[in-house]
Structure 1
Amino acid sequence: MVSPDPTQSNGHHTTGRPRPQNTASPAADVNNKVLSLFDDATERALLAAGFNRPECIREFRDVCRPEDFYEPRHVALCREMFAGLPQGAELLELRRRNALEACGGADYLQEIAGEFVSATSVGYWAARIAELSSRRKAADIGKNIIAGAADEATLDSVVASATHDLMGILPRHPDATPDHDQSREQFPVDALPLILADYVTAVAEALPCAPETVALPLLTAAATAIGNTRRIALKPSWAEPPVLWTATVLPSGKLKSPTHEKAVQFLTSRQKRLIKKYQAELREHEANVQAWEDSRAIRRREKAAESEPKPEPPVCGRYTTSDPTVEALADLLSQNPRGMMVDKDELAGWFGGFDRYTSGTGGDVPAYLSMHRAGNLIVDRKTGRRVTHIDRAAVCVAGTIQPAILRRCLRPEYFESGLPARMLLAMPDSPPRRWSEAIVPANIERATEDLFDALLNLKFESLLDSEGEEYQEPLTLPLSGEAKTLWVSFYNSHAVEQEGLADDRESSAFSKLEAYAARFALIFAVCREPNCTEVDAKSMSDGIRLTRWFCLETKRVYAMLGESAEDAEQNTLVRMIQDRFGGRVTARDLVQLSRLYRPTAKAETALEKLIAAHLGYWDIQTPTPSGGRPSAVFVLHQAPPAPAPTKPRKTEQNVGCVDVGAVGAPQKATSAPAAPVGVSPPPEPDNDQPPPPADDRDFAAGQPVEEVEL
């Protein structure tokens, strides 16, 4: 194991300013110290835990990211673990993804998988890796500062660049731009077709917002534009339509409406033009009907025969609707065989509409389930005894909803019917609202407009029946040979993952996500080449990648839905402490922030509950040399360290000298080793588990387990 050793530092400790060395660059001494800011044994131990105990992956992905690892092969392996590896077939899956060599090769991975590790230290190892990653970044920033000063760069530019970079490595600092939930896999924007990816990125930077808040409704709008004109054939008896149901789960005040409107504007703007055209045609139709009525009256007086039929009313072309009943939706679909999108800024109204005429029984749900697969829809009318039949009722759904409202709307009977399982859910972490002059470039907006024009101009396939009558069918696109290989591999590995799920609701959602991979592939292929004749391998690969992201996000949203009221309250408080105070807060801060935590005793009780849930601890601040009283600060685990005193006491031993060699080095302690900055100490070992062998070693400390005080 490689770790820094404070007793072997080659830094100079003097009572005065160190003299600069003329024979080396100013950063030469720092370079030697940075080499020690990684821990190979800890990285191997954490990855071994992921191999031997897949349930540990969820724990350490909450703390560190793949790029926090130092070894490139460890970075690649962690990324593949986060993407999901079938237990017992890891090497085969890595070989199929062409990632085996990047992860170190079969021999190296078998060596890691054969290491014995204790799951009790997973959190500590992950925190150690994340901490060393931040220290390496800080050291690089320091070298850049020295290099900038040596090159006689302007002081303002050096300071501005360093400040920007430092804010990036302290994401939980209250003045920094946070990366928010480090446990979330970033939305794979680069998996989208280039035109859509550029638009998503531009809108996300202009508002600002998380990319997925734009991508979900934008993909749904693209799927609606393609509509029933295309399908993807997985085998002769299995074809999937491009129907998406997406829901963005965000609290109030997080730019839900502006983001949604920017994403669906390419359909709504065209919808307005169609309605305007329809209104003009309707006025002309009314005039024609009046003329026909006058002519008919004259013919009746003259007892002449009827010569002209009554003019047919115009049909309003539709792409979207916002608040339809199933009966109204059936009428719209009968006039628009391409399909439609239910565009609901607030999806609570969509859920509420299921009970509109059914006394709370959710009677419209079966009809929507049929529309999700573009199946047959038959609506019987009481008035007029009319029957409306739609051969391919394709309806997409896109909207937003608040977490608490979603929890109330998803009643148990909806889960039993499979309605939530058909929804693609995303619960993004929105960046803090800051003024931005950024706008969506005109060329990106125009390219997206042109893409939607091309999609809306797609035609059905015209065929002839046995009697020579022409009829229209969706053009079914087959898979290329390589795309079929990717699909079969995904289908099998996804099935293995689904079988391992203990939660019935998650298992049901995974069963529907399987088909979404094919639907994404179809949408991507058509967006890249509207006149394509098959679904290519890249589109299938990107569709699978996006589906795997939704698998992770579905688990995360379902975990939120399963929270008790007390858990939800605690998580809300944790997010507030994280976002508003950077992870460090006093009871007085809470009192001043919200009336919910008044008086002070109530705020202290709320913080004590977080400590009891192992979410944080009290940091007792001692008085500074200038005086004052002790204070208690609540600190979330993984919060940044407390700021140093603004006026430290000077001594002759610390004037003008920095011990670079001590960065990241373990400190001597009389009772227990100190955890790295911002890292909680490892948890107590589980007494119910048998102790490891005496010669087993703790990889984070490099010492026998019995000699390490956890």
Structure 2
Amino acid sequence: MTDLNDRHEHLESEISDALEAERRCERELGEAIARGDSDEVLKDLYRDWDDARAARRGMEPEVEAMGIPPELTGEMPEYALLSYLNPNIQPRPLPVGLPSAMTWDYDLLPDALSSFVRDVAERTQCPPDFVSVALVVEIGSVVGRKFTIHPKRHDDWAVVPNPWGCVIGNPATMKSPALNQAMFPLQSLETSAREQHTKAMTEYKTGSELLELERKVVKDKARKLLENNQKVGAQSLLESVVEDIPPPIPRRHIVNDTTVEKLGELLNQNPNGLLLARDELSGWLARLQDERWAADRAFYLECSEGNGEYTYDRIGRGTLHISSCCLSIIGGIQPSRIASLVRGAVTGDFADGLMQRFQLLVWPDDNREWQLVDRWPNHAVREYVKGIFHDLDQLPDEPRLALHFTEEAQELFNTWYTEHMQEIRRGELHPALQAHFIKMAKTIVSLALLFELIVGGREAVGLVATARALGWADYLKSHAGRVYGAAINASLLGARLILERRRKLPEPFTPRDVMRKGWAGLDSPATINDALAILAEHHLVIRYEVKVETGGRPSARFVWRRTPHGPMVTENPNMSGHPTDRTD
């Protein structure tokens, strides 16, 4: 290895001398031509220049044998080539791209729900975080506006428990199966409501037919009364059957794909609230970032509070007043999509707080292990959880009940809330993360209320439910830090992605070559240049410029650094927790 290092150093010196000689001869030739020297002088200088070029080209076989493409020695400036050949400059590993996030703790849920989550997670081999978040969001949608909680003793601040949740993971993490399994209890309510509506429609149609028959009889009687000049009596008879039987309104729990106008109508029909469930949230969120959908975005923002109203005035459709804007949301998204969506909140382009309203936002570590589990679902646990959903669904929508903390629970919450707000006010957090944390108090008190209701409490939110909800605070903060870190550290993640896929790029390569790949998160010249700058800072690539024939700005090019071991290698070029959809 010492001999190889020595040869690198000698070759570096020889190439440096050869390049200097070639450029000196070229410079002298140019000066002679400018002075108008004689042909003999020019002939001698041409000969010297050819000899210098031949000497440099004579080194190319050895350069190629050392793993250096010969075409690079012709276009790379001396400083870049010397850096390329310098064995003392070693690549440094990139920092970890994502902050750590807390692992799931089954104690964060009441026992019955924990057993359900464990059963689903084991059978589908998915992170338990996915099932837990989906289950809590669904329960919140069932409770809806039936209950509110007052976080303070002597204040009118009231919170509706309608959480928004998003689970982040690669396709291999089984997001969709996890969400489908978690939706089972709510789907059961939806199926039951659909069956009840079918029966109600049968009764409605039968009643409407009977009403038509009755109207015919009444019309005959009214005609006879009218023939006897008994107009008042005839009118009274007709008025008794003038009103149609109102059609039954279907009870809905879940919507998947709807316009906001139709969603408004459904919310008027289901004033307790609905759950918007989408397998993939990326398309929905991306659409709301388009200015053409700004009105939709405003409506969803209103729905996140759970206790507001909204009015649409449209030419053609007229006026639609929505008296109950209460919506819960659950869905999944891939890591390759989340950074670009969160970036708007980080840069301030979309600083209205829509992303921050996804408070139950989790991005667990990828589990590389997998095992075959082939068994039936735990029937007893499923039925018990179904019973919890059924009991909460059967609670009356009116009157709406407002709960407070018990004295001990209030003291515990006040302590956490004070520390939480002081942490935010210290100004040590990124503004986007600060905006996310400021909304967390609503989430924590919502969780406390839901946990109390799950175990049968109906009068006050006790210490156990409050302590369990506060356990979610650190857990959710760590995952929020990971999610927003993906946008805040987008350049670093982009650098890791380029490093991982370096073999898919030509050599040398340009920023435009990276852009053409369409890799997630590397969608603008600025982000690509920032990522390449990080690679250069860590001596993973060498940047140099080449003059273009058109006379424009020099073209930036990059080569991967070689070492005495051969092609550049790193300890682990893979991006932990940040794979992407595209593989080309």
> Relative to 1, partners in 2 of residues 1:182 and 1:199: Cα closer, same or farther, differing over 3 Å?
farther
Letter aligned with residue 484 of structure 1: Q
Alignment match of 2:351 (pick from 411, 416, 424): 416
In structure 2, do the counterparts of structure 1 residues 540 and 284 end up closer, same or farther at CA, with 3 Å as the change threshold? same
TM alignment of 1:229-308, pairs within 5 A: 229-235=146-152, 236-297=155-216, 299-300=218-219, 303=223, 305-306=237-238, 307-308=240-241
Cross-structure match for 1:511: 438
Displacement of 1:571 after TM fit? 3.6
Equivalent of 2:268, from 327, 334, 349?
334
Please state how far the C-alpha of 1:313 moved relative to its aligned partner: 0.4
The CA deviation string for residues 569-609 of structure 1, in whole angstroms up to 9 with x for no partner, is 434477xx7xxxxxxxxx9xx85xxxx3578999xx99997
Counterpart check, 1:478 vs 2:409: no
Q: Does 1:325 align with 2:259?
A: yes
Q: Distance in 2 between matches of 1:638 and 1:350?
A: 29
The residue aligned with 2:101 is: 184
Structure-2 residue corresponding to 1:373: 305
CA-to-partner distance for each residue in 1:158-198, whole Å, 9 max, x for gaps?
xxxxxxxxxxxxxxxxxxxxxx9893221233121111122
Q: Which residue of 2 aligns with 1:567?
A: 492
- Contact kept, 8 Å, 1:208 with 1:433, in 2: the verdict is no
Distance 2:317 2:414 in 1: 50
Task: Flag structure 2 segments of 5+ consecutive residues without an equivalent.
Answer: 1-94, 224-233, 515-530, 542-559, 576-584
What CA distance in whole angstroms lies between the structure 1 residues aligned with 2:291 and 2:213? 47
Cα deviation for residue 512 of structure 1 reads: 0.3
Amino acid at match of 1:429: D
Q: Which residue of 2 aligns with 1:388?
A: 321
The amino acid across from 1:275 in the alignment is R
Secondary structure of the equivalent of 2:186? helix
* C-alpha separation in 1, matches of 2:539 and 2:400: 56
Which amino acid in structure 1 is aligned with residue 392 of structure 2? L
- Of the two, which has the highest radius of gyration? 2
Q: Distance in 1 between matches of 2:117 and 2:508?
A: 44
Quote the offset at 1:511 in angstroms.
0.6
Q: Which residue of 2 aligns with 1:152?
A: none
- SS of residue in 2 equivalent to 1:360: helix
The CA deviation at 1:389 is 3.9
SS for the counterpart of 2:387 is helix
Contact 2:146 2:399 survives alignment (8 Å):
yes
Cα distance change of structure 1 residues 406 and 292 upon mapping to structure 2, 3 Å threshold:
farther
Q: Give the CA deviation at 1:489.
A: 1.0
In 1: Cα distance, 2:400 partner to 2:274 partner: 15
Q: In 2 relative to 1, CA 347–608 (structure 1 residues): closer, same or farther, beyond 3 Å?
A: closer
Tell me the equivalent position of 1:430: 366
Q: Match of 1:364, SS? A: helix
Q: Report the counterpart of residue 332 of structure 2 in structure 1.
A: 400
Equivalent in 369, 380, 390 of residue 443 of structure 1: 380
State the one-letter code of the partner of 2:267: L
Match of 2:285 in 1: 351
Partner of 2:449: 522
- One-letter amino acid of the structure 2 residue matched with residue 427 of structure 1: W
Amino acid at match of 2:389: F
Provide the aligned length of Structure 1 versus Structure 2.
420
Query: What is the rounded CA distance, in whole Å, between the counterparts of 1:384 and 1:620 in structure 2?
Result: 69
Task: Provide the C-alpha distance between the structure 2 equivalents of 1:398 and 1:536, rounded to a whole number of angstroms.
Answer: 27
**Under a length normalisation based on structure 1, what TM-score does the superposition of the two structures give?**
0.53
> Residues 549 and 613 (structure 1 numbering): CA distance in 2 closer, same or farther, change over 3 Å?
farther
Report which of the two has the higher share of helix.
2
What's the % identity of the aligned pairs? 22
Partner of 2:141: 224
Give the Cα–Cα distance (whole angstroms) in 1 for the partners of residues 195 and 186 of structure 2.
14
- Counterpart selection for 1:194 from 87, 111, 118: 111
Distance 1:377 1:250 in 2: 35
> In the aligned structure 2, how far is the partner of 1:350 from the partner of 1:631?
43
Amino acid in the other structure paired with 1:522 = L
Which gives a bigger RCO, structure 1 or 2 (Cα 8 Å, sep 6+)? 2
Structure 2 contact 496–573 (Cα < 8 Å) conserved: no
Q: Give 3-state SS (helix, strand or coil) of 1:247's partner.
A: strand
Flag the 1:196–1:618 CA change in 2: closer, same or farther, 3 A.
farther
Question: Does the aligned pair in 1 maintain the 2:274–2:327 contact within 8 Å?
Answer: yes
On the 8 A contact 2:103/2:364 being kept in 1, the answer is no
Q: Offset of 1:637 from its aligned partner?
A: 9.3
What displacement does 1:484 show?
0.9
Q: Specify whether residues 287 and 370 from structure 1 end up closer, same or farther in structure 2 by C-alpha distance, changes over 3 A only.
A: same
Gaps of 5+ in 1: 1-126, 128-179, 461-471, 578-586, 623-629, 640-710
Q: CA deviation at 1:274?
A: 1.3
Q: 1:600 to 1:275 in 2, by over 3 A?
A: farther
What is the CA-CA distance between 1:526 and the residue it aligns to? 1.3
Matching residue within 440, 465, 487 for 1:539 = 465
Q: Secondary structure at the match of 2:570?
A: strand
The alpha carbon displacement at 1:487 in A equals 1.1
CA offset at residue 399 of structure 1? 0.6
